[in-house]
Amino acid sequence: MIGEAGQQSVSPEDGSYWSIEINDLLLRLETSASGLASSEAATRLGRFGRNTPASTSSASALAVFARQFRSPLVLILIFAASVSAFVGEGQEAAIISAIVLASCVLSFTQEYGASRATEALKQRISRKAIVLRDGVECSVAAEDIVPGDVIRLSAGNLIPADGVILDARDFNVSEAVLTGETFPIVKAAGRSAPDASLARRTNAVFTGTSVRSGTATVLAAATGARTEFASIAAALERKIPETEFARGIRQFGYLMTEIMLAIVILVFFANLMLHRPLIQSLLFSLALAVGLTPELLPAVISVTLARGARAMAANGVIVRRLDAIENLGSMDLLCTDKTGTLTEGVIHLDGWLDVDGNPSTDILLWARLNATLQTGLKNPLDEAIAGASGEGASLPAFTKVDEIPYDFIRKRLSVVVRTKDAEALLITKGAVLNVLETCGFVSTAKGLEPLDEKQRAAIDEKFRRWSADGYRVLGLAIRRFESRKTFSRKDEIDLIFAGFLLFLDPPKQRVKETLAELAHRGIAVKVISGDNRYVAAHLAQAVGLRADRIMTGEALSKLTKSALFAGVQHTDLFVEIDPNQKERIVQALRSRGHVVGYLGDGINDAPALHEADIGISVDTAVDVAREAADIILLKQDLGVLVRGVDDGRKTFANTMKYISITTSANFGNMISMAIASLFLPFLPLLATQILLNNFLSDVPSLAIASDNVDADQLLRPRHWNIRFVRRFMISFGLVSSLFDFGTFAFLLLFAHATAAAFQTGWFVESLLTELAIVLIVRTHRAFWTSRPSPLLAWLTFGVGVVAIIIPYLPFAAWFGFVPLPLPVLAGLVAITALYLLASEATKRWFFGQESRQSHRKGVGQLIDGRPKPHAA
C-alpha cells in the first residue's frame, strides 16, 4: 500500500512527479512497469476515491428539493405568506404556504426523477481504459484507475489520469483543453524541470487531453480531484453554445416578465387609488404575477426532456446532453461519413493484387504482417486483412522489429519485421497516392523497374477503375534493410510499390429507404469523406444521393471563407477531405442557416462534432469522438437516428404545448382579472383563489411529457419563434378574455351574484376554460380527431370534476367559496362549451393565417416563421 510519505511525494502540488527519475517514481508509488495487482488496485480505489473531478457528483435529493425554493416566484409567495401572517391573516398565510409547498413537491418529484433517469442513461456509455493489472492488459472503467496503474494509450484515446511516460512511439498529444495550444505536442519518456509549466512537461500527460497519434505506456501518478484538470475545472468546462430552444425559453421568460411587471404594478397602484386595503391589494397583485407565470415550465421541460431521453434510449440512442434533444428535432441537415452509416461497415478484403492486377500471395502476406503487428489505432481495414482467407507463409516465421504509426498527414502505416534471413523488411500500406509518394521503384512481372510517369499513370488508371466499381483501394510498398533495431519516418523513402489491396463495403440493405425517410422529415444528407471521389460517387448513386455535385479537399483548400460559404450549399459529396476541413464545412453550412447534425466516430471527427449544432457518434467510436458528441448511437444505423429525430420532435412539441396552454387561457384570465379589478367594487378573485386556480390548472401539465404527438408535427424541423408565441398569446388571450367578460355579465346581470358567489362562479369558469384549452392547443388538427394520452385525459377530466364540486366541499369556506345554484353552474358549463368551440375556430383561423403567410413568403419559409434553407 502507498505510504503517507509516498502519497505526498507524488502529489501534483508539491511532488513534481514529472521531474523524478522513473525507477524512483515506481518505488515511491510502490508499483512496477508491469502494473498493480487487482487486489492492490481495489485497495487504492478505496483510499484515493474514484477517478472523477469532485464537482461531478450528482445533486442529492435534498439539494434538488431546496433548489425549488430559490425560484423568484416561490420567494414572492413566501414573502406574501409572511406578510399575511404578520398582519394577522393566519388562515390566508397557511393556505398560501400549503399551495407553495405542494407546487414545490410536484416540481421536485418531476425534476429529481428526471435527473436520476438521465444519470442512469449516462452510465451506459461510461469510458473504458486499457491498464496492466496482474501483469496482463485488461479494460477497466476510467473511473477505477488509481495512482500506480500502468496505462496503455493509442491514437484516439482520451487520457484518463495525470502521469509520466514510460515509453512512447511517435506519441503526439492534443493539450488544447489545458494549454490552449492548437497543435499536438510531441511527448516522450524522460524528465522535465521541477518548475516546468504544463506545456513544457514533455514527459507527462494529463487528464482530459487526447492522443492524436502514436502509442505510449504511462504510469498514473494523480487521479480524480488531484489532477491538473480538476484543479482548474471551472475554467475548463466546455463552453456549450446556447441552443436555439434555450434561447427561445429565455426570450419567452423576458416577455412574460415584462407583461407581469406591467400588470402587477398597474393593478397594485390602481387598487390603492380605489382605496382597497394595502395588504389585500399587494397579495392580489402578487397572486396575479404567479397566475401569469408558467412556474412549472422548468419542471415540464426537465420531465419532457428526460422522458424523451428514455424513449430515445429504448430506440438505441443515448443522450449525453439533454438540451441536444431539442436540436436533434430542429436538425434539417445531416453530415456523415459513409462507412458504417451508408454502408454495412463490415469491410471485406476482396483482392490482394500485384501491380499488374493479378492475385499475389506475397501481397496478402505483407498486408497481414502490417495489419496484425501494428499496435496503434485499430480500424476495420486491418481487421478485414487479418480475417481474409488465402494462402501465404505463416506469420510466426517473422519477428516484429519496429513500427511507424499511422497519422492523418502521411495517411500510411509502416511495420518493420525481421525475416529468416535476418534482414529487416519495411512494409508500408496506406492511401495509394500517399504510398506512391514514398516509392522510387515498382515491382512488375518483368522485375524491378524505376517508377516513371508511365508506371504512375498505369497505377492511377487501375486505382480509378476499381474505385469507380465501389472498391476502396490501398497501396502496399516494401523496402529491405540491413537488420537494425529502430526505424523512423525518414526510412519511408525509395520504397518498392508492390501492389493493391481491394476492400468492399456494400451499401446497407435499407439505407435508400432510410434516406428517403430523412428527406420526408425535411432533413437533407451530405457526405463528408476522406475516401476518393470515385468510391464516394459510386456509393451515392447506389443509395439514391446525387453524385454530380462533388467538392474535393484540394478544391476546398483553395476557397476563401466566402467562396466556401457559397459553395457548400450546392455540394452533396465532400471527398478526399482532410480532418481540419470537416470543421470548416460544418461551420459554413451553419452559417447558411442550417441546423447541422454531424455523425462521426474517428479522431479527426472531434472538431466537426464540437462545431455542429448536434454532434452524433456511436458507442464503438474512439474516446475523443464520444466525448465530443451530444448523442451516442448504440448501433451505427441511420434508421436509429430517424427514430431519434422523431423523439426529439415529440419532445419539442410537448414542451411547446405547455407554453401554448400558459399563453392562452391563463394569460387571458389574468388580464381579465386585472381589468375587472379596476371596475368591480370587490376583487374578482381572492389571492388564495388565484393561487389554488393556478395550482389545479398546472396538475394536467405534468402529464404533457407523456402526451401523444400528431404524425404531421414530426414531418419537418421544429424551431422556436418568439414572434409566433406572442401572436398566439394575443389571439387566444383575446378569445379567453371575451368569454371572461361574458361570464362577468352572466354572473352580475343574470345570476345577480354577491361578491363571494361572483368569485366562486368565476373561479369555476376560469379553471374549466384553462382545462378545456389543453385539449384544443395540444394539436393543430380538430381536437376530436387527435387523442390525448390516457394520463393527460384523466388528469384533465379529474381536475374538471374538482372545479365543479369544490364550492360544495366542506373546506370550501377556507378559500371563500360558496355553493352555486344549479342553473348558475349549468350556465358556466355552457359558457365553457362555447369557449371550447370558439377556441377551436380560432385555432383553425390562426394556423390558416400562418400557413398563408408562409406561402406568400415562398416555399423557403416554415410555418413557425424561421427561414428554411434551400433544399440541398
Task: Kindly tell me the sign of the dihedral angle through the C-alpha atoms of 635, 641, 646, 648.
Answer: positive
Q: Are 334 and 511 in contact (CB under 8 A)?
A: no
Identify which of 359, 348, 386 has the alpha carbon closest to the alpha carbon of residue 500: 359
Rounded CA-CA distance 329/614 in Å is 10
Q: What is the 3-state secondary structure (H, E, C) of 432-484?
A: HHHHHCCEEEEEECCEEEECCHHHHHHHHHHHHHHHHCCEEEEEEEEEEECCC
Q: Are 667 and 736 in contact (CB under 8 A)?
A: yes
Q: Which residues contact 79 (CB under 8 A, 6 or more apart)?
A: 286
Q: Grid cell 450546392 — which residue?
A: 570
CB-count burial class (<10 Å; 0-12, 13-18, 19+) for 264 = buried
Task: Kindly tell me the sign of the dihedral angle through the C-alpha atoms of 479, 483, 488, 490.
Answer: negative
| H runs (alpha helix) in 55-202 | 61-67, 72-86, 90-123, 176-179
Three cell numbers, residue 421? 534471413
Q: Please report, as a single letter, which amino acid is at residue 836.
A: L
Q: Are 189 and 143 in contact (CB under 8 A)?
A: no
Give me the residues paired with residue 334 across strands: 525, 597
Beta-sheet pairing, 136-141 with 596-599: unpaired
Three cell numbers, residue 125? 456509455
Q: Which of 144, 170, 337, 647 is catalytic?
A: 337
Three cell numbers, residue 50? 474514484
Is 452 catalytic? The answer is no
Q: Please report, as a single letter, which amino acid is at residue 694.
A: N
Rounded CA-CA distance 685/677 in Å is 9
Q: What DSSP element (H or E) covers 575?
A: strand 573-575
Rounded CA-CA distance 516/283 in Å is 58
Q: In whole angstroms, how far apart are CA 718 and each of 266, 329, 331, 648? A: 37, 6, 8, 9
Q: Are 661 and 773 in contact (CB under 8 A)?
A: yes
Buried/exposed code over 550-579 (b: 16+ C-beta within 10 A; e: otherwise): bbbbeebeebeeeebeebbbebbbbbbbbb
Backbone angles phi, psi at 753, to 5 degrees: -70, 145
Q: In whole angstroms, how far apart are CA 21 and each of 155, 164, 203? A: 26, 10, 11
Identify which of 833, 849, 814 has the alpha carbon closest to the alpha carbon of residue 90: 814
Helices 278-292 & 244-273 angle (0-180, nearest 10)? 160
**Residues making up the chain, counted from first to last:** 872
Q: In whole angstroms, how far apart are CA 384 and each of 17, 32, 214, 381, 389? A: 42, 36, 22, 5, 10
Q: Are 284 and 682 in contact (CB under 8 A)?
A: no
Q: Are 355 and 502 in contact (CB under 8 A)?
A: no
Give me the residues paired with residue 642 across strands: none
Q: Grid cell 412574460 — which residue?
A: 256
Q: Are 613 and 331 in contact (CB under 8 A)?
A: yes
Catalytically active residues, by annotation: 337
